[in-house]
């Protein structure tokens, strides 16, 4: 049954793509291969046996909820792909309209909207790993059609909920006691729901208010099925689209999901980042209550605030969006370029802001996924950024080669910076980011998807989470309307300089050499600070820029 579903999905892709002769040969080979492969009696028997055992195990784990078993979840995914593909074929590709006309663009937008809504339905039905993918899609403003981005963005804070009964059951199973022996009360309605868990407000017996993060009951069992499903669909996609390589996505998911499902590791990450950044008085990491935490339940200090991308909340609470953007840029730049320990899921639901002691406080939640960068990668990535800022083509090529991508160095530079190649060569720091550049970038990206896929397949694995983090940070800047000043880029430039010059200092053999490197570092920081003030004049916030400089925040680590 499972292979019949996959063949049907495969056929619809063939029907869509055979109008493009460049794919015909590879499609014929792939079709013959699959037909031979699927016709083997032994494979059929084994597949049915595995499916039968897997179905029984999945049914038991999901309390005999037939909608949650693996083959049903796979069926949903396959049918959704079929429906979306058929819709594009019938409504868009069969229209025969000239692609340069407004009629075609309107039709394409409607097809994208339909596909996005169907994909959202799939994510909400299958939950778990599918929600994670949907959240990432909702952050790729500069890369994907706006219809998909805007539709999937709802998953950042409104993922499907587990029932309160399931929540109580998880607590009982993990602590072997009635939840009301631990908590005085637990709010039945969650504060927020994410892909792997949801958070409830609760009151302890001593009166302290806490936030309790409880894993969705079946998410761990389903995640294994979902990853295998993703692997099958990726293999199928690779057969249909030989130029597209998505194996890296499966590999990263296999590696990251088990780490995110262990809440004890999340608690340790939270305490580690609190210790590393204790000098940032404006950063708040909720306290962990270890005595009421387990692998599936994490009890934390309850902290209130507004989502970092909620411009209305920021304005209503007299917060400065440029201050929010600047502090967030400083924090993540320090993580990436200096300490190499990076919170890798900064979607808006995981970053809150509030007014505290008359200044902006950043509240960082969800510490399940961190990138641990090697020293070699961290310094090499810093050098790549400085090459991009200088518009140094040969240096970009050299550092991209060391990161695994030599021939496509220009594309990697664009993916890293979120700027067009023309802007990079003209000078990122001298060119103001505007809607024209954004539209140019989005227009060119669809023509480069095979090359982007190739970059992602070949680049140093540590880069993948960094690219995701960059995408999410740019999404936040875009929501706050602060991308024109690129305050985050200024913070990042400072940290890159610090990282590269600290590495140079390590190789100095005498005092004179160390003195020369230190002077060079301070000089380049000073030039950058002048540019920071210049950008402030362009955005009519010169006062804030000068105040920041006078506080010596520009040089502070």
> Among all residues, which ones are annotated catalytic?
345
Exposure of 479 in the CB half-sphere (CA atoms within 13 A): 26
Which structure tokens are listed for 537? 């004049």
Tell me if residue 176 falls in helix, strand or coil. coil
Residue 291: phi and psi, rounded to 5, are -70, -15
Which structure tokens are listed for 318? 């007299």
CA distance 202 to 210: 5
Which structure tokens are listed for 511? 């005092």
Q: Are strands 359-364 and 283-284 parallel, antiparallel or unpaired?
A: parallel
Please answer whether residues 138 and 154 qualify as being in contact, where contact means their C-beta atoms are separated by less than 8 angstroms: yes
CA distance 236 to 243: 13
Q: Are strands 306-307 and 341-343 parallel, antiparallel or unpaired?
A: unpaired
Tell me if residue 116 falls in helix, strand or coil. helix
Residue 352: phi and psi, rounded to 5, are -110, 160
Q: Which of 236, 254, 256 is nearest to 244 (CA)?
A: 236
The label of the residue with tokens 């019938």 reads 90
Which structure tokens are listed for 218? 């079946």
For the chain, state the CA radius of gyration: 25
Question: Where are the extended beta strands (E) located within 40-161?
Answer: none
**3-state secondary structure string across 280-308:** CCCEECCCECHHHCCCCEEEEECCCCEEC
Which structure tokens are listed for 322? 């440029």
The label of the residue with tokens 């890293």 reads 416
């Amino acid at each position: 049954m499972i292979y019949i579903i996959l063949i049907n999905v495969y056929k619809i892709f063939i029907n869509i793509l055979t109008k493009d002769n460049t794919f015909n040969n590879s499609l014929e080979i792939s079709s013959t291969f699959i037909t031979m492969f699927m016709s083997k009696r032994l494979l059929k028997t084994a597949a049915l046996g595995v499916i039968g055992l897997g179905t029984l195990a999945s049914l038991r784990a999901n309390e005999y909820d037939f909608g949650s078993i693996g083959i049903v979840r796979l069926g949903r995914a396959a049918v959704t792909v079929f429906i979306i593909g058929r819709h594009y074929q019938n409504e868009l590709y069969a229209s025969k309209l000239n692609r340069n006309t407004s009629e075609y663009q309107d039709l394409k937008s409607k097809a994208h909207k339909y596909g996005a809504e169907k994909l959202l339905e799939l994510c909400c039905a299958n939950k778990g790993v599918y929600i994670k993918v949907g959240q990432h899609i909702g952050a790729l403003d500069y890369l994907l059609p706006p219809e998909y981005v805007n539709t999937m963005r709802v998953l950042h804070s409104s993922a499907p909920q587990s029932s309160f009964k399931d929540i109580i059951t998880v607590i009982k199973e993990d602590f072997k006691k009635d939840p009301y022996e631990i908590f005085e009360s637990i709010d039945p309605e969650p504060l927020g729901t994410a892909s792997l868990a949801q958070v409830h407000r609760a009151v302890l017996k001593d009166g302290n208010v806490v936030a309790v993060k409880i894993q969705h009951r079946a998410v761990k069992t389903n995640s294994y099925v979902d990853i295998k499903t993703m692997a099958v669909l990726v293999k199928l996609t690779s057969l249909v689209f030989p130029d597209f390589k998505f194996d890296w996505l499966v590999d990263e998911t296999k590696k990251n999901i088990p780490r995110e499902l262990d809440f004890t590791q999340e608690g340790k990450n939270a305490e580690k980042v609190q210790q590393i950044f204790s000098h940032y008085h404006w950063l708040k990491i909720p306290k962990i209550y270890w005595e009421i935490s387990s692998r599936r339940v994490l009890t934390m200090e309850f902290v209130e605030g507004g989502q970092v991308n909620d411009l209305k909340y920021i304005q209503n609470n007299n917060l400065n969006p440029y201050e929010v953007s600047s502090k967030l840029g400083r924090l993540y730049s320090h993580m990436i370029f200096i300490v190499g320990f990076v919170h890798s899921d900064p979607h808006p639901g995981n970053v809150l802001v509030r007014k505290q002691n008359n200044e902006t406080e950043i509240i960082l939640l969800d510490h399940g996924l961190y990138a641990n960068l090697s020293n070699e990668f961290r310094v090499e990535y810093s050098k790549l950024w400085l090459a991009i800022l200088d518009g140094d083509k040969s240096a970009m090529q050299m550092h991209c080669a060391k990161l695994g991508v030599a021939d496509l160095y220009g594309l990697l530079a664009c993916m890293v910076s979120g700027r067009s190649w023309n802007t990079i060569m003209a000078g990122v720091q001298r060119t103001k980011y505007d809607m024209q550049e954004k539209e140019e970038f989005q227009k060119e990206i669809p023509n480069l998807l095979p090359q982007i896929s190739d970059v992602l397949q070949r680049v140093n694995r540590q880069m993948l989470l960094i690219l995701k983090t960059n995408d999410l940070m740019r999404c936040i800047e875009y929501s706050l309307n602060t991308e024109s000043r690129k305050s985050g880029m200024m913070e990042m430039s400072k940290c890159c300089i610090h990282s590269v010059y600290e590495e140079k200092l390590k190789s100095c053999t005498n005092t004179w050499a160390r003195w020369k490197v230190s002077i060079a570092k301070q000089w380049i920081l000073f030039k950058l600070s002048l540019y920071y003030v210049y950008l402030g004049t362009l955005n009519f916030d010169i006062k804030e820029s000068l105040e920041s400089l006078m506080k010596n925040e520009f040089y502070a680590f």
